Amino acid sequence: MIFKCKNCGGNTIYDPDKGTMCCPHCDGLDSEEKVTGTETMKSCLSCGAPLDEVIGEHTSATRCPNCGSYIILDERVQGAYTPKLIIPFKVSKNKAIDLLHKEFGRRVFTPSSFLSRASVSKIEGTYVPFFMYDYNTDSDYHGTGTKVRTWRSGQYEYTETSYFDIHRELEADFDKVPVDASDYMDDQCMDLMEPYDYAALEGFMEKYMSGYLGEKYNRDEEELASRAVKKLTDAIESMIGDSISGYATVSKKSLNVDAKKKLAQFALLPVWEYVFSYGGEDYRFFVNGQTGKVVGRTPVAKGKVFAYGATVFGVIFWIMSMIRLLLAAFV
Ligand SMILES: [Zn+2]
Ligand SMILES: [Zn+2]
């Protein structure tokens, strides 16, 4: 499908600054109509150019290489691939470019071509597929803590180490633990993109995709559930760790997490992606399309992923509707 302007026939796109559909050709607002192709999309609905070069295995929205129109592939946003939730773009293309300038404009490692107009204008907004998992968890932790007492008597110094059994039980419900469902997107980068403000999740509407690229999920929620469990287990371990204090040392003996999946919802989250080619290699930079957080691998420190800039949400894990920590039986 394509969204066209009723006034001038141009391709209307979702404008993050205005928060509505906009025609870049005549500045018409909310003047769009949805035009649907008759069969599986192989050519542009605006100019007829072939699209096979820009449609990959998982592509759900793309840009015509000939006329620049944004096309959404019906069969990849419908049926089993219908997204349940979406966070529409909040950061515009110009704002994303500004943020890259702010982070890298004055850095020594930055090659001069990195932020050149020609290069940086190739930045594209992409809706990355995610699954959002809801889990009920019951956890049981056992550890050993030590307390050390030293004193001096005469010419001797005495040290007494006492050992304590530490036991914690934690019941917690996790809502919307995000796991990216794209093979192309680097998991580490996507994890660093977080947090999004999940309160801004909306019911999916196709028009939010107009003006952006997109992918359907590459793997299903069953395949990706183990990554959600890993994330919430890490969160549980850190919560339990925070509840233990007053010991010289603490060592974990066991942590059993019984995680029951309640729900998995397919969602699209907004990311600006800038691919910078330098010295025969591609370096990928991402700007969170909602919060503006910048993540990327620099040409200098190869392989290492950096997150730049603070997010406005601080360190929120996910929305947890219920937490019950039992300080059970510790001696
Ligand atoms: Zn128009
Ligand atoms: Zn076209």
Cα 211 to middle of ligand 2, angstroms: 13
What are the start-end ranges of the H helices in 108-260?
117-120, 187-193, 221-243
Residue among 301, 278, 275, 277 at smallest CA distance from 286: 275
Candidates 276, 328, 331, 265; CA nearest to 300 is: 276
How far apart are the CA of 55 and the centre of ligand 2, in A? Answer: 13
Q: What is the DSSP string of 6-56?
A: TTT--B-EEETTTTEEE-TTT--BS-EEEE--SSS--B-TTT--B-TTT--
Q: What is the pLDDT of residue 316?
A: 38
What Cα–Cα distance (Å) separates residue 114 from each residue in 98, 108, 193, 304? Answer: 13, 12, 21, 18
pLDDT the model gives residue 290: 96
Query: Which stretches does DSSP call E strand in 88-234?
Result: 124-153, 156-180, 202-203, 213-215
> Ligand 1: distance of its center to the CA of 93 in Å?
20
φ and ψ at residue 183, rounded to 5 degrees:
-75, -30
User: What is the domain partition of the chain in residue ranges?
Assistant: 129-326
**In the prediction, which pLDDT does 313 show?**
38
- 114 Cα to the center of ligand 2, angstroms: 29
Distances in whole angstroms, Cα of residue 308 to Cα of each of 83, 102, 117, 291: 29, 10, 21, 12
- pLDDT at residue 321 in the model: 43
pLDDT tens series, the chain, 331 aa = 999 999 999 999 999 999 999 999 999 999 999 999 766 678 999 999 999 999 999 999 999 999 999 999 999 999 999 999 999 999 999 999 999 888 877 665 566 677 777 778 889 999 999 999 999 999 999 999 999 999 999 999 999 999 999 999 888 888 889 999 999 888 888 888 888 888 899 999 999 999 999 999 999 999 999 999 999 999 899 889 988 999 999 999 999 999 999 999 999 999 999 988 777 878 888 999 999 998 887 665 455 556 654 443 333 344 444 455 554 333 3
Which numbered ligand comes closest to the C-alpha of 24?
Answer: 1
Strand pairing report for 124-153 and 213-215: parallel
pLDDT at site 148: 93
